[in-house]
Structure 1
Amino acid sequence: MDCVVLHQVLSKFRDLIYNKFGLRISDYPTISSLSFAIYRKNYLSEHKIPLTKGPIFYFIQESYTGGSTDMYIPYGSNIYCYDVNSLYPSVMKNNSYPVGVINEFSGDITILNDIYWIGDATVSTKRDLIHPYLQIHNKIKSGYRTISPNGHFNMKIHSPEYLNAIKDYNIIIKNGYFFNKENIFEKFVDDLYALRMNYPKGDPMNFTCKLILNSLYGRFGMKPIITRQEFMITKDFKDLTTKYDILDVLDLDDSGLFVIYEDTKLFNKDHKISISIASAVTSDARTYMSKYKNNSNYQLFYSDTDSIFIDKELPLDDTGNDIGKFKLEYIFKDAIFLGPKLYAGITTNNEYISKIRGFKNANLVKFEDFKNLLEESSSIHLKQDKWFKFIENSNIIIKEQIYNLIANDNKRQLIRDNLGKIIRTEAFKMKNIE
């Protein structure tokens, strides 16, 4: 019956997409590729999109740091939670993006107007900000995290983000790439958002439009390396290792090997990728949200990619049902924040809301247990079932996994009182240019 129901869902979705957009879903394996096809078919003018590959791709990729999520104050009461209506589509609608020929530059390009550029920059904060908002990748023991630091650092920055930040940062641009600029998404967003609003929230078409709107920008930033999977004998595998980056190997005994590898030979081919646009959209979203940081009109407890948790109501001009406006989701009469995607609170309607990144049963963790994690050396060991796939045995095994819940200091420094309780956080300070 699961297969029958899935077939019925796909059939309905196929008819819906074909009737509205004239496209067959069998030609597009993901929502982002379908969104990209709708945009190209109905809205894209020729020769507008700057295709990025090779060194240009890797240069701009450093500026592609995604949304900004931080915890500033670990607990409080009467906290207003606001979300932006369709943040990414709203900035796509209202901003211009890099188009046309990609041009290389060196030196201070900021003296030129009416062009879009992405530059390698030396940056320092003019003063220690409570909520710094320029974001970089930072290496930690377990990999990389995005942080917004004070102090001195290097980054790749977009021209609109530069113009928004020069009031708080000293920024020297060294080199990079520049483009023409144009609003290329306004009609796409207007049409899809209007179509979405024609249907109630529970209607499949409303959800479909939401997915299409939010999936387009990421398709422009797709990694231009093809991952391949092949069955082969040991002799062929040895030859393969001299030519490609091997990602995984499964030994199938007498049947040979199953190998997953990156075909880097296809890197410089035309994959219709423009990471300059994908990164620009996320940069504009961070710029939009930065206007609600370091604001003396209210106290900021926590911020996510498209949400803020503050101690008072926003002005009426900032709220509403229109795209890009904030909407009040709920009010916490008591809340605990332990890190990015890690918080719990009781609303004024006595509803318990909790979020634990990577743990699916967050509501099972009691509010008092969250509160206890503010104390030094406190932790909670949680258990959850996780599915593991084993291709060589053609099966799936469900194993119990331990999740260790603690306050998170990967993105900001935890400040404790004399008794070891977390009372606030501070941005990391970068002392040396890296």
Structure 2
Amino acid sequence: MENAKDKGKARAKEKEKANEKAKAKPLDKANSKAITIGEQKFHSLNFWRSATPQLDFSLWEDLQRHISSIRGESLYSGCFQVIANFRDPYPLAVNGGLLVLSFFQLLELYVYHLTSSCIKFNMVTRLVYDSIVKQVSCYGERHESAAVKCAIMRIYYKSSGESVQEICPIQKDSTELISNIMGVMATPSVENLNLPRVESLKRKKSRKSKILTSIKRPSSQLEPRPFMVADIETVLLNDVHVPYAIGYLAVYPSLDLSSVAPSSIHIADSFNSFSSLEEESQVILSRFIYDLEIAGRRDPRLRTVYFHNFARFDGLFLLKHLASFHKDFKIKQLIREHRLYELKIYLGERHLSRFRDSCTLLPRSLAELAHTFCPELGFKGSINHEAVNISNLLSLREEYVRYLRQDVLLLGGVMRKAQETYFFKYHIDVENVMTMSALSLCIFRTHYYEPDLFPICTLTKNQDSFIRRGFYGGHSDVYIPYGENLLYYDMNSLYPHVMKKYSLPCGEPFWRNNLTKVDLGTLFGFVEASVVCPKELRRPFLPYKSSDTLIFGTGHFVGGLFFFEKRSGSPFASIISSLYELRKEAKKAGFEAMSFILKLCMNSLFGRFGMDPEGQVSEICSFSRYEELLVQSGFRSTDKLDDDVYLVNYRRNIRHLSAEEWRPPRNLAIQISAAISAYA
């Protein structure tokens, strides 16, 4: 524990004016009636979550003042989108009530009046509304005070040869729109809709679970593989990012980057107009792909190309380019929750290259990482990206090229040092893993896991579903929003401490049903119980889920029992001790980026066992395959990459699948993550 007196005083004074009337009672920005930020008052989402909400008409008027225009447009056969543009000053992400209402208005104006011959709705309208409330709530929690310039909604439908050619709103006045919206919200909501379904518990002994195995330590004769690093620079034209340069560099383990030749650069030659630059950008990307093919033939070990922020930026350009201009290549992509983790390209059966994101391994800014891992290579350069435009690309060409070369060099230095560090310490090549959690798991299974002493089981669908009903996050509330002379307490490495010190559910799982004569103090496992919490308790601490919302409530709520054989100790004690000592050394040396990465390495290990089996995946396919996926219950969204080339996002392992059809991620062990989060 560490104590820092008066640490919160300065920050608290900034909010004194906005909170001078706040009372000392629970305040939760997701559940309170309204939130005050600065001088603006924002309606909370609790209004939309209530059973029979009564709309404050001022919220509707506030929304209409914010909206500058509303329009709809057809994107391609089977898809159109509707947009509500906001005017400055823009609403904020925490302005949940207003944003939710804007989506409801778009649905009522553009969607629900369309004929069923063209669009078939497979969700109850109230469920659509509830889903919007949930998504806006999550967005507000993540982005808080970010300005929202528009609300966009895409509508997908099976065209059957018929498409919506003209997207026009239905003519409704405000009174009719509000009446329709409130009519939907007055219909009963479905409680516990998203809780995993559990089969009967009458069978006391479940089918045998699989034991997670350890990994044989690699031979000391192995050498780390070389790799490539790259970066794309773009210019913003008509609100569209267009690549104008790409640089890349091959990095070998024994290579001294301080004396290496400058990275290769492809840069557009024509800057006369948007269309010419757009054409040039495709040319430089094609040259880059061709160079990778040549490099792979010269040295087959060169297979991985790293970009920093590939998942959310650079990878999007490459994915669309490859789908549109390299149809002789076969593309395999790994996308989870709209993040492009990996992109592989094949020529026939021959694997050419795979693109990955260095951020998933080293999630810090390039400047911080370079300062920690390779200060001898200099500092990250700086340019005003907003000032980059088509008129100065030629005159400032050399400056932009120098900036790009330095970024590529630093990324090469960072990844080389990370590879060297982990290979020396654990004899594991980071080129073989994709994310920090995968690296942590690999280190654990290779060097620290003892399956004979602490066997970790992967569970059946029924077992996983049961425990996941009680897999909760923490309880975070602000009870006194303002104060002076405050004391600030922070637990030092809470989750790693729990992973090291507490007994965890290892061994073969089994069910128990009749517990009427069992001493509860002797139980070790997961419980679904009937709980009565005193209504006078001011700060209840036992949670339950209702419609995917975590509630710490009073009164009566219901929760079966699931048990593991009792083991004393933890399978993670050794790895946590090792990583914690390394982190202490990094902090002492002032290497904050390395300290942060080691912290993530400890924390992400337990999270890896608790991954959601109902993950979102993506598939590049034809239009006919897209229409097949569209009518399946797991469908989420799609993007048209080129003629008859679609990127479809859908969920796998959806909960109605049978146990035989269920295909969870490998090495999933929800009992480990649930126990650690419960202890913490």
TM-score class, shorter: 0.5 to 0.7
The question of whether the paired residues in 2 share the 8 Å contact of 1:115 and 1:178 is answered with no
Secondary structure at the aligned position of 2:649 is classed as strand
- The alignment status of 1:99 with 2:486, answered yes or no, reads no
- The alignment status of 1:68 with 2:475, answered yes or no, reads yes
Partner of 2:526: 118
Residue deviations 1:111-147 (CA, integer Å, cap 9, x gap): 26665210111111246323222222344xxxx4323
Residue deviations 1:208-249 (CA, integer Å, cap 9, x gap): 322211111100101224543222222222334466722211
Superposition pairs of residues 401-412 of structure 1, within 5 angstroms: none
How far, CA to CA, are the matches of 1:273 and 1:22 in structure 2? 24
Residue deviations 1:240-279 (CA, integer Å, cap 9, x gap): 4466722211134623322122333873357111101101
Secondary structure at the aligned position of 2:473 is classed as coil
Q: Which of 545, 551, 567 in structure 2 is aligned with 1:137?
A: 545
In structure 2, runs of 5+ residues without a counterpart are 1-405
Q: Which of 538, 551, 557 in structure 2 is aligned with 1:153?
A: 557
Residue deviations 1:328-354 (CA, integer Å, cap 9, x gap): xxxxxxxxxxxxxxxxxxxxxxxxxxx
Superposition pairs of residues 74-89 of structure 1, within 5 angstroms: 74-89=481-496
How far, CA to CA, are the matches of 2:597 and 2:629 in structure 1? 42
Residue deviations 1:363-400 (CA, integer Å, cap 9, x gap): xxxxxxxxxxxxxxxxxxxxxxxxxxxxxxxxxxxxxx
Q: Which of 172, 179, 195 in structure 1 is aligned with 2:582?
A: 195
Q: Which of 419, 433, 436 in structure 2 is aligned with 1:28?
A: 433
Compared CA separation, residues 244 and 29, structure 1 to 2 (3 A): farther
How far, CA to CA, are the matches of 1:50 and 1:116 in structure 2? 16
Query: What residue identity is the alignment partner of 2:585?
Result: N
- Higher strand proportion (structure 1 or 2): 1
Partner of 2:646: 257
Compared CA separation, residues 76 and 226, structure 1 to 2 (3 A): closer
Residue deviations 1:390-427 (CA, integer Å, cap 9, x gap): xxxxxxxxxxxxxxxxxxxxxxxxxxxxxxxxxxxxxx
Compared CA separation, residues 233 and 14, structure 1 to 2 (3 A): same
How far, CA to CA, are the matches of 1:268 and 1:232 in structure 2? 22
Tell me by how many angstroms 1:92 deviates.
Answer: 1.2
CA root-mean-square deviation = 2.5
Partner of 1:365: none
Secondary structure at the aligned position of 2:566 is classed as strand
How far, CA to CA, are the matches of 1:271 and 1:180 in structure 2? 25
Compared CA separation, residues 14 and 115, structure 1 to 2 (3 A): farther
Partner of 2:515: 108
Q: Which of 181, 202, 208 in structure 1 is aligned with 2:567?
A: 181
The question of whether the paired residues in 2 share the 8 Å contact of 1:89 and 1:214 is answered with yes
Partner of 2:415: 10
Partner of 1:231: 620
How far, CA to CA, are the matches of 2:642 and 2:424 in structure 1? 50
Secondary structure at the aligned position of 1:106 is classed as coil
Partner of 2:353: none
How far, CA to CA, are the matches of 2:408 and 2:558 in structure 1? 52
Q: Which of 226, 231, 246 in structure 1 is aligned with 2:635?
A: 246
The question of whether the paired residues in 1 share the 8 Å contact of 2:623 and 2:644 is answered with no
Compared CA separation, residues 234 and 199, structure 1 to 2 (3 A): closer
Secondary structure at the aligned position of 1:37 is classed as helix
The question of whether the paired residues in 1 share the 8 Å contact of 2:509 and 2:562 is answered with no
Secondary structure at the aligned position of 1:180 is classed as coil
Deviates more, 1:224-233 or 1:105-114: 105-114
Secondary structure at the aligned position of 1:71 is classed as coil
Compared CA separation, residues 199 and 237, structure 1 to 2 (3 A): closer
Secondary structure at the aligned position of 1:3 is classed as helix
How far, CA to CA, are the matches of 1:7 and 1:91 in structure 2? 36
The question of whether the paired residues in 2 share the 8 Å contact of 1:225 and 1:267 is answered with no
The question of whether the paired residues in 1 share the 8 Å contact of 2:614 and 2:664 is answered with no
Query: What residue identity is the alignment partner of 1:271?
Result: R
Partner of 1:371: none
How far, CA to CA, are the matches of 2:512 and 2:531 in structure 1? 19
Compared CA separation, residues 181 and 242, structure 1 to 2 (3 A): farther
Query: What residue identity is the alignment partner of 1:10?
Result: M
Query: What residue identity is the alignment partner of 1:37?
Result: C
Tell me by how many angstroms 1:281 deviates.
Answer: 0.5
Q: Which of 249, 272, 280 in structure 1 is aligned with 2:667?
A: 272
Tell me by how many angstroms 1:40 deviates.
Answer: 1.0
Identity %: 30
Query: What residue identity is the alignment partner of 1:58?
Result: S
How far, CA to CA, are the matches of 1:269 and 1:112 in structure 2? 32
- The alignment status of 1:54 with 2:461, answered yes or no, reads yes
The question of whether the paired residues in 2 share the 8 Å contact of 1:136 and 1:146 is answered with yes
The question of whether the paired residues in 1 share the 8 Å contact of 2:532 and 2:556 is answered with yes
How far, CA to CA, are the matches of 1:78 and 1:225 in structure 2? 47
The question of whether the paired residues in 2 share the 8 Å contact of 1:65 and 1:279 is answered with yes
Query: What residue identity is the alignment partner of 1:148?
Result: F
How far, CA to CA, are the matches of 1:9 and 1:33 in structure 2? 19
Secondary structure at the aligned position of 2:506 is classed as strand
Secondary structure at the aligned position of 1:196 is classed as helix
In structure 1, runs of 5+ residues without a counterpart are 156-173, 286-434
How far, CA to CA, are the matches of 1:103 and 1:53 in structure 2? 12
Compared CA separation, residues 91 and 37, structure 1 to 2 (3 A): same
Secondary structure at the aligned position of 1:198 is classed as helix
Scaled by the length of structure 2, the TM-score of the pair is 0.36
Residue deviations 1:71-111 (CA, integer Å, cap 9, x gap): 22232222211000000011111110001111012132852
Partner of 2:603: 214
- Higher helix proportion (structure 1 or 2): 2
How far, CA to CA, are the matches of 2:523 and 2:531 in structure 1? 21
Query: What residue identity is the alignment partner of 1:247?
Result: R
Partner of 1:284: 679
The question of whether the paired residues in 1 share the 8 Å contact of 2:506 and 2:564 is answered with no
